[in-house]
Structure 1
Amino acid sequence: MYACKTDNGDREPISTDKSKPGVITNVKITNYEGGAYITYTLPNSDNILYVSAQYNIRDGVSRQTKSSYYSDTVNVEGFAKEADYDVTLYTVSRANVQSDPVKVTVHPKTPPYISIKATTAISADFGGVNVVALNPLKKEVGVIVTAFDKSTGQMEIQDQHYTKSDTINYSVRGYNTDPRNFGVYITDRFGNISDTLKQAITPLFEELLDKSKFSVYQLPTDTEIGYGWVLPNLWDGKTDGSSAGWHTNPGHVPPFVCTFNVGLSYKLSRFIIWERPDDGSNLYAFGHGNPRKFTIWGSNAASPKDSQLPASSIVGTVVGDWTNIGNYTYPDPPSGLPPAAHNSADNAFVLAGVNFNIPLTAPPVHFIRVGVNQTWSNGNFAHIMELSFYGKPQ
């Protein structure tokens, strides 16, 4: 027979040895961007539990980092600038008794948030501003965009973009073409904040392309339609998966291609794609024939001729009357789950549509071809629910 007893929440030390542990010795320091590795030799004792490092990363902000007795290195990080910082090190016993302090000085190199800020540039974009910066160490940072608000008379936060990508390039939109003061600064996960890059910018004009002017422009190399999901479904305004989209017939190889006329010549700025979402027990999001990698091709010819599009090409590639105006990869599930195990929040992300930028260097277009180069299932068909394009009439 077995019995249980109530746990009253008390926690006893894992050792009854109350003697003060010895100190670390043979300390060596390796500085890096925003931090330092401190290597040491532990005292010869079986009673050591961990090493504690206590330090300030900026005025009034302290941190503590611990390293178990299995390691000979403690990482101190988050420092606000390149300077000397004092670090106090203790060994801590299994009875939670601290050793005498050992004080060392570290001198971290320039923190990433400062070096990223030094590469940051902001420029006019369609309906707003474009921000570019370099993050070669792929550190987690926030790019914070501010703009002057007439109602408050202050620079107010407009967007907070968090990333660890090595190349930062994104746009903040929703503004008219009036001149406005914008700013951008970089922050990190330790609460450090760079100074602000400020600039007066006049956003470029953009409008949603009028889908009532869209029409099919069938070309011989367009992929055969399947299941009655005809091309005009791409611009019927229905995005939630309750009705049909564009769907190719199975049995083909990438790229899966469709072609249409947008009615006027436009300098495109961006587009939104709605992939097929989950439908009850049918899991389509991040799977099935939804595009994972795709290319937007454009032509401004009066009557562009057919060309066999490649499954892979660089932006700017010209094939007959058609120019590659952008290669795109649909994002992975925001939850971080595997595509096949995505959750309801990931499906909501698909339902909301995903925005992609068209490069500012792209030429004007009157006709568009979509080439799906790879689907999430790597299958022999593709489908899209809806596309919306934005730009400036030419």
Structure 2
Amino acid sequence: MKKINRFSIKTVLWLQVLVLSCIIGSCKKNEGFNTEPVSTDKTKPGVVTNIKVKNFNGGAYITYDLPTSENILYVQAKYKINDRTARETKSSYYSDTVMVDGFADVKDYEVTLTTVSRANVSSDPVTVTVHPATPFYKLIKPSVKITTDFGGVAISALNPNRKEIGVILVSLSKTTELLEVVDQHYTNTDTITYSVRGYASVPIKFGVYLTDKFGNVSDTTIVTLTPLFETQLDKSKFSVYRQASDSEIGYGWDLPYLWDGKVDGYSNGWHTNPGTGKPMQCTFGIGPTTQLSRIKIYERPLEYAFFHGNPKNFTIWGSNAASPADVVLPQSAPAGTVVGDWVNLSNYRYPNPPSGLSPGFTNAADEKFVMAGVDFLVPAAAPPVKYLRILVHDTWGQGDAAHLMEVTVFGKPL
């Protein structure tokens, strides 16, 4: 029997590994334009020809024929989109089209096209004129409305193409006597609607304009509005109005703790008893009949933030009856639904953690967000009420018990 040379086998194995490593190392990923060694050919490349333009909202597609050369790396377009901003767009030699966008107006713009070689040598420039259609920020602007709201203004607009847009609110500063930015709202939703509050009920000059991701700015709509009067309701006038359908209290966290002003997470709040099932709800009086504007909810903070029995989806029902009769309310109903003496003021969802972290793995910033409370706006069309019922559909912990630290109510007592 021939003796095996262990040294030779080991050598062969190492050689195989080395060869395999070389093969793997030679298979580079295509990262973009610089996929091959820089050329030493300093010849000026030819220009693009047979140029055609297809305009769209705020931009244009420019198609062309490339010059015959294997040394071309990309085609570069240079252009100004407004009086302040110049842009550059590049298109690989694999393509016959370059897109230019971000133009502020509907007018002629000059775009300079150059062919660039692998040796970074540019061709002579070729100028083409584009005439973009109306940019989206200008299409959206006519739909913008600014109206009075409780303690401020309500802003709405339509964005059917779901473009990224910024709605900027300005108001007259008493100090500088200039219109200064007081709120910036960025969104790509198709229907924009929100409120900015915190103003006294006196005439105030407001303005609103739109901006897009390229920094273009629309004209400003300026109005003078008087925000509707809003005040925080006196919690000393709140009262328990326990009903048979209300949840059983757990751990001694009885309903009056819900308006005792303590939100630290160490004090008591309202807590339902686990194991008693749904509905998870409580009912209480708020004193005088009030046209509600918003309800600030303080969920349980610290390690309970976005976890445990903190409500995730809930509905607030109201009644203006002298002694509203109890009724088992539906777990799902549109705002405005009337059941017995009760009306659905609105359906709500508590915001996701601001950090973007998954619930249960939140950080100190998320805990601070919970501690500060969250405003939930009551639609202006909602009727005046003097009793509230909070109906919790599900919690962040997906359990069968709900808890809150505090509820603060705002509006105009009638």
Paired residues for 1:232-271 under 5 Å: 232-251=256-275, 255-271=279-295
Q: Is 2:217 the partner of 1:217? A: no
Q: Is 2:219 the partner of 1:176? A: no
Matching residue of 2:217: 193
For 1:93 and 1:31, the matched residues in 2 are separated by 28
Paired residues for 1:109-148 under 5 Å: 109-148=133-172
Q: Is 2:324 the partner of 1:304? A: yes
For 1:38 and 1:227, the matched residues in 2 are separated by 70
Match of 1:352 among 362, 372, 376: 372
Return the structure number with greater helix share.
2
Q: 1:50 to 1:251 in 2, by over 3 A?
A: farther
User: Bigger shift: 145-154 or 296-305?
Assistant: 145-154
1:83-137: per-residue Cα shift (whole Å, max 9, x none)? 2222223333333222333433322222222122210111111111111111222
For 1:271 and 1:68, the matched residues in 2 are separated by 55
Deviation of the 1:358 alpha carbon: 0.8
For 2:217 and 2:293, the matched residues in 1 are separated by 31
TM-score (norm 1): 0.87
For 2:396 and 2:74, the matched residues in 1 are separated by 46
The answer to whether the 8 A contact 1:48-1:94 is kept is: yes
Deviation of the 1:262 alpha carbon: 0.8
Aligned residues: percent identity? 62
Deviation of the 1:214 alpha carbon: 1.2
Q: 1:67 to 1:295 in 2, by over 3 A?
A: farther
The size of the alignment, in residue pairs, is 380
For 1:71 and 1:375, the matched residues in 2 are separated by 52
Matching residue of 2:343: 323
For 2:120 and 2:206, the matched residues in 1 are separated by 52
Code of the aligned partner of 1:172: V
Matching residue of 1:7: none
Deviation of the 1:381 alpha carbon: 2.5
Give SS of 1:58's match: coil
Code of the aligned partner of 1:350: V
Give SS of 2:302's match: coil
For 1:96 and 1:349, the matched residues in 2 are separated by 52
User: Bigger shift: 381-390 or 100-109?
Assistant: 100-109
Q: 1:43 to 1:149 in 2, by over 3 A?
A: same
Deviation of the 1:364 alpha carbon: 0.5
Deviation of the 1:46 alpha carbon: 5.2
1:145-173: per-residue Cα shift (whole Å, max 9, x none)? 22223333322322222222222212222
Structure 2: which 5+ residue stretches go unaligned? 1-33
TM-score (norm 2): 0.83
Structure 1: which 5+ residue stretches go unaligned? 1-10
Deviation of the 1:380 alpha carbon: 2.5
RMSD: 2.6
For 1:339 and 1:27, the matched residues in 2 are separated by 53
Paired residues for 1:19-34 under 5 Å: 19-24=43-48, 27-34=51-58
Code of the aligned partner of 1:61: T
The answer to whether the 8 A contact 2:146-2:155 is kept is: yes
Matching residue of 2:19: none
Deviation of the 1:308 alpha carbon: 1.2
Matching residue of 1:3: none
Q: 1:301 to 1:34 in 2, by over 3 A?
A: same
